[in-house]
Amino acid sequence: VLFPMKNILFAFSILVILCGASGLKAQTEFADTLSSAQLYELAEEAMENKGWERAREALKRWMKTEDPTLESWLNLGTAHLFLKDEKDAEKAFKEALDKDKSNMVALEGLCEVYLIRDKEKDMLKTLERIEKLTPESRKLTYYKALAADRFKLKQYAENYFWDTLEEMVRSDSQDT
């Protein structure tokens, strides 16, 4: 019996979809068979490849059996942020700061969270912390400009955001 080509393609498409769906489920159910070292390596690889959900799940499982490191908290916060889970990202970045109070990656991660979650007071406190650590930082200038625009801060001129970005671009051609 010969099947028309259209039916074969349809059946193949359904097979690919079904296999793909079960493959996606398997991607986050990998931890039971991996050692702690393999699990962390998998999380790092997922981070490099922007596989945020896979990285998050691998890190969470790794943290259940290992003492979380500064790097693991930063990676977890980043994964949460990219997955639009700002509440858990905030928790992870704060845990990272418990390990290293002057960690710029964690402070910058919190700036991103506070901008998204509309937390003006927390943003301003974080900017103060960054300013104490690196008063001449380009990132500080950038986040101040974002905060001025986002929260309509009265101490900054209305065009502060655009003027600051233009100045940053002119002063370093690598930003373009």
The reported pTM is 0.79
For residue 114, count other CB atoms closer than 10 A to its CB: 25
Separation CA 73–CA 53 (nearest Å) = 15
Is residue 140 helix, strand or coil?
Answer: helix
Confidence band, pLDDT 50/70/90 cuts, at residue 1: very low
Longest dimension (CA), the chain: 79
Separation CA 168–CA 146 (nearest Å) = 13
Separation CA 84–CA 119 (nearest Å) = 16
Residue 31 is predicted with a pLDDT of 45
89-106: per-residue pLDDT in tens?
Answer: 999 999 999 999 999 999
| Mean pLDDT, all residues of the chain | 87
Contact 53, 28 (CB under 8 A): yes
Separation CA 22–CA 1 (nearest Å) = 31
Q: Out of 15-24, 33-42, 78-87, pick the least confident.
A: 15-24
For residue 97, give both structure tokens. Answer: 């700061």
106-130: per-residue pLDDT in tens?
Answer: 999 999 999 999 999 999 999 999 9
Which residues, at least 6 apart from 36, have a Cβ–Cβ distance to it below 8 Å? Answer: 62, 65, 66
Q: Out of 8-12, 39-43, 59-63, 64-68, pick the least confident.
A: 8-12
Confidence band, pLDDT 50/70/90 cuts, at residue 7: low
54-76: per-residue pLDDT in tens?
Answer: 999 999 999 999 999 999 999 99
Residue 103 is predicted with a pLDDT of 98
| Residue reference for tokens 């991996």 | 34
On the question of pLDDT at 172 being above 50, the answer is yes
Q: Higher model confidence: residue 19 or residue 174?
A: 174
